[in-house]
Structure formats: C-alpha cells, structure tokens
Structure 1
Amino acid sequence: MLAIGVRIGEALAVLWSEVDLNAGTVEITSMIIRVKEVGLLRKDTKSSAGQRTLRLPSWAVAMLERSSGGYVRMDRPVFPDSLDGFRDPSNTQRALREARGSDGFAWVTSHVLRKTAATILDEAGLSAREVADQLGHARPSMTQDVYMVCTAVTPRAARALGGALSSKAMG
C-alpha cells in the first residue's frame, strides 16, 4: 500500500497474473469487500478511474520477487490468507493493529500508508492530476481536498505575477 498508494481492498485483490515483475508494474482492477451473509467478494474498483496500471518502486519489485519464491500460481492473490485465498480487509486491519503494537502508534492505519504515498508524490512535485491517477481518483479536486496539503508560499507565484505585471509588461 505504501509502495503505490492503493486502498487496502485493492491491495488484497491483486492476483499474481496482474503483476509483471520484469516490467515492474501492477494492474489494479478489483477490490475485496465483505458482503453481509455472502462473504468476501472480488469486485471491480470503485470507479473506472480506479482501474489502472501502476509502476512499482524497485524495492517493491524486490520484495515481491522474494515473497514469490520464484514460483507463483497466477490465479492466486499476491497477499493470500492462510488457506491461499483472499484476505478479509477487516482481518488485515486487525493484523496491522496488532503488528503496530502500543497505543503510541494507534495512528498507523492502512489509510495512513495511502496518505503517506500521496504526500510523497505531492512533495516530489507531481501535479494533482498525476497524484489522482496514482490513487485512482476520477477528480483531482478530490485528491487535493483529501490528500494534498497546502504548502508554504513559493517564490514561483511571485515571479510569475511579477513578470506578467511588471512595469515593462504594463508599459
């Protein structure tokens, strides 16, 4: 989730057939949800914008190579449960809570991993559209409102306005 900023349900839905370790990409096409009295379902992403192919950082490719052990069943999840099926997002959230330990780290949730990925992209200077595409948002405004922070004033704005409205330009 931190490597590419996906939702927990999206990460849990990824099959090995959707990962190309040679190209360093992963296709996000689905999500895992729990439906009352039915169980776990693998369904399409929240919107068509959610269906996307993402590049993996090299450290994530290496991690997936190690976890695959050189052999995978293409029809199996990348992050399976103990029976090699899909993991329940709620159980995965609970496992994350147990792994993070004390109350001092109660703020660490799966959504924090997604938000951290968005913050890294924002701080690297990616546009709201680029971050929205990575996160699977149709509207960059949603990405800006929820995931991107208002940063300190930069000199770029003053230079642009100064150049456009200088005495030479006005004269």
Structure 2
Amino acid sequence: MTENGADAEKTAQPPQQPQMRILGQFVRDLSFENIMAQKGTSGEVQPDVSVQVNLDAKKRPTDNQYEVTIKLNVESKAKEGGETLFLLEVDYTGVFQLENVPEEQLHPFLLIECPRMLFPFLRRIVSDVTRDGGYPPLNLENIDFLHLYRNELARRKSQSGERADA
C-alpha cells in the first residue's frame, strides 16, 4: 500500500448512522364525547368504528429538533340504526432530536419513523379513554405509516397534475 492510500484511508470516515432521541411526548389535545351516555341509552350495541389518521411535523427553533403530531379521529356508530356512540379526537405529539439524517430523507423520516415510535403510547391512551368512557377498550390495529406517507405523496402529485390541467 502506498503512503497516499494509507492517508486516504485515515481521512475517509464511514457515513454516520441517523440518530433519533425522543425528548418528550404529550397529549396536545383530547376530546371524548360519550354521546350514547348523554342520550341516556344503554344496552348491548354492535359498534362500527372508523379511524382517521393525519400527521404533522414541524421544525422547532432549536437545531435538529422537531415536533411530530399524530392526529387521530375515532367515530363509533351502532351497526343497526347508525347512531353515534362516541367520538374521540386526540392530537399526540412527540419532540424529537435528530442527528445525521440527510436532508432528502428528513421528510419521510419525520412522517414515518417518528410516528412509529409514538404510536404504542397513543394506542394505550385510546384504549384507556374508551375503557374509562364505559366501552370495551378500543385496541387500535397497527398503522402502516409508510403506506400513509406514499398515499399522501400520490394524492399531492395527482392534485398538482389536476391543477396543471385546469
């Protein structure tokens, strides 16, 4: 090996792995409306549950810190009659410190990896709130955040295509 080759080996550093730390997490907003109890109705009902998920991420003033929020809307209706049983809205936020994430990978990292870290805690909150509201605990299925991200990109692309045609 030549001296130049040895010098090149010393100066070439392997790329550093992305690092993520959760600095904090909290419920930003929570609303549970027990409509069935407000109406005074009771009895056994078969629920039909719909869940909507939205994600939001923003840079914080501190370097390499970001807030990621999962916005969850859950509506439970009776299968027979379609009466609303309860509505649950929760915004769950995590504060993340990210290091060594390339700029072109930052957006997907914030909207895929960060929500994956927050989701188990949000699932627990939803389960506890529905149980404490007098219903069986609602155990959310896993959410495929990669699929959500790809769908959102496709939706935005089709919207921009429609605008160009108009």
TM range (shorter): under 0.3
Structure with greater strand percent: 2
Larger radius of gyration: 2
Q: Which structure's relative contact order is higher, taking Cα pairs within 8 Å and 6+ residues apart? A: 1
User: How high is the TM-score relative to the length of structure 2?
Assistant: 0.22
Structure with greater helix percent: 1
